[in-house]
Amino acid sequence: MSKPRILVARAIFPDIVDRLRQHFDVEDNPDDVIWTPQELAARLADKDGVLTTGSQRIDAALLSAAPRLKVCANMAVGYNNFDVDAMTAAGVLGTNTPDVLTETTADFGFALLMATARRMTESEHYLRAGKWTKWSYDMFAGSDIHGSTLGIIGMGRIGQGVAKRGAHGFGMKVVYHNRSRLSAELEAECKATYVGKDELLRTADHVVLVVPYTPASHHTIGAAELALMKPTATLVNIARGGIVDDAALAVALRERRIAAAGLDVFEGEPSVHPDLLTVPNVVLTPHIASATVPTRRAMANLAADNLIAFFDGRGPLTPVNQPSTLR
C-alpha cells in the first residue's frame, strides 16, 4: 500500500522531515523557496496533505487545483492564511499549533513592551552612531513599567501570559478587553479587570494586542483608537498584521500622539510600511515572538503529529474546522 503524499511547504528542522518520511511520501523545500500561489498549487496537485506556515494561502482557488488535498497542518497558532469556510466546504481539514508557543510568545511580548517603554532601540541607534558624548538628565528617559497600568486587548492564552508577567512580576495594574469575559478564577489568576475597549485605551499606560486576525478585527487600532490613548502611552502588537492600521500608527508616532510602539507583525509582511521605518520611536522585529529553538521544534512536531494522526485514523489533535464530510 502506497504512503500518502504530503508537501512540506517551507524549510523546517531536517530531523522532523525525516520523521515524516517514515509515514509519508514527502516533498519538502529545504532551500526555503517562497513559491507563488500558482507554484504552490502545482506542487499540491498530487498531494494528500500539506504542512504550511503562515505564508501559504489556502483558499478556494488553490483547493480546486488540488483535488486530492485532505488536510493542511499549519505550523502556527494563527491560521488567517486559511480560508476556513472554503476549506470546510471542500471537505478539507485544517489544524494549528496552540499551547506550545504560549509562554515563549508571552515572554517576547513582555520583552517588546519593555524595549518600547525604555526606548532601547532608539538609544542603541544613538550609541552606534557615535552620538553619545555626555550624560544628561533626560537622555532617552522613557516610561516606567512597574506599578503602571497594562491594558491587554485579546485575553486568550498568550494575553493571560502577558497579564501574569505584568501583575505578578512588575506589580502592574492589569485591565483587559476581550470578546467574552474571563471566568472569575482566571481573572483572579491574572489579577485582571475587564473593561470596555475605549476605557482601556484611555487609561492604560501600555497597550498590548494579542487578538487573532479576522475581518472583524481588521484595524482594531486605527486613527480613532490611537487618539484615545495617552500621549505617554505605548502600543505593542504581537498579534497579526492588519490588527493595527500601520499608516495611522506611523502618523501618531511621528506627531507624538503616543510615546512609542513595539511591533512584531505588520500589514503585508514581510513588507513594512515605509513610514514606520522613518520614525525613531518604534521597535521593529520580524515576526519572531515564538522564535526559540525548543518552541519552533514543538510547533513543527505538533504540525507533524496532526498529519500523522489524521492519516492513521486517530483524527487531528488540534483542528480548526470540522467539515461535515472529508474528501
Over the stretch 155-195, which tens digit does the pLDDT of each residue have?
999 999 999 999 999 999 999 999 999 999 999 999 999 99
For residue 188, what is the enclosing H or E element?
helix 184-190
Smallest CA-to-CA distance from 113 within 80, 161, 156 is with 161
Greater model confidence, 78 or 297:
297
Question: In this predicted structure, what is the pLDDT of residue 280?
Answer: 96
CA 150, CA 168: separation in Å to the nearest integer? Answer: 12
Asked if residues 226 and 248 have their Cβ atoms less than 8 Å apart, the reply is yes
| Residue 91 CA: distances (Å) to CA of 9, 53, 192, 205, 300 | 21, 20, 40, 46, 24
- The contacts of residue 28 (CB under 8 Å, 6+ apart) are 7, 8, 11, 12, 17
pLDDT-derived band at 231, boundaries 50, 70, 90:
very high
Q: What is the pLDDT of residues 278-310, one digit of tens each?
A: 999 999 999 999 999 999 999 999 999 999 999
Question: In this predicted structure, what is the pLDDT of residue 96?
Answer: 97
Smallest CA-to-CA distance from 66 within 40, 45, 83 is with 45
Mean of the pLDDT values across residues 213-219?
Answer: 93
Mean of the pLDDT values across residues 99-121?
Answer: 97
Which is the catalytic residue, given 103, 189, 199, 269? 269
Mean of the pLDDT values across residues 230-239?
Answer: 98
Asked if residues 42 and 85 have their Cβ atoms less than 8 Å apart, the reply is no
pLDDT-derived band at 95, boundaries 50, 70, 90:
very high
Q: Is the pLDDT of residue 108 over 80?
A: yes
Mean of the pLDDT values across residues 80-89?
Answer: 96
Rounded to the nearest 5°, which phi and psi values hold at 31? -85, -5
Asked if residues 148 and 205 have their Cβ atoms less than 8 Å apart, the reply is yes
254 catalytic, yes or no? Answer: no
Mean of the pLDDT values across residues 186-205?
Answer: 98
Question: In this predicted structure, what is the pLDDT of residue 211?
Answer: 95
Q: What is the pLDDT of residues 33-64, one digit of tens each?
A: 999 999 999 999 999 999 999 889 999 999 99
240 catalytic, yes or no? Answer: yes
Q: What is the pLDDT of residues 63-73, one digit of tens each?
A: 999 999 999 99
Mean pLDDT, rounded, of the chain: 97
Mean of the pLDDT values across residues 137-154?
Answer: 97
Q: What is the pLDDT of residues 2-35, one digit of tens each?
A: 999 999 999 999 999 999 999 999 999 999 999 9
Question: In this predicted structure, what is the pLDDT of residue 21?
Answer: 98
CA 246, CA 276: separation in Å to the nearest integer? Answer: 7
CA 267, CA 248: separation in Å to the nearest integer? Answer: 12
287 catalytic, yes or no? Answer: yes
Question: Quick one: cell of 200?
Answer: 482601556
Q: Is the pLDDT of residue 1 over 80?
A: no
Asked if residues 276 and 250 have their Cβ atoms less than 8 Å apart, the reply is yes
Could you tell me the end-to-end alpha-carbon distance of the chain, in angstroms, rounded to an integer?
A: 19
Q: Is 125 exposed, middle or buried (0-12, 13-18, 19+ CB in 10 A)?
A: exposed
Which is the catalytic residue, given 19, 57, 219, 287? 287
Question: In this predicted structure, what is the pLDDT of residue 130?
Answer: 98
Asked if residues 201 and 151 have their Cβ atoms less than 8 Å apart, the reply is yes
CA 23, CA 4: separation in Å to the nearest integer? Answer: 8
Whole-prediction pTM: 0.93
Which is the catalytic residue, given 10, 118, 119, 240? 240
Question: In this predicted structure, what is the pLDDT of residue 229?
Answer: 98
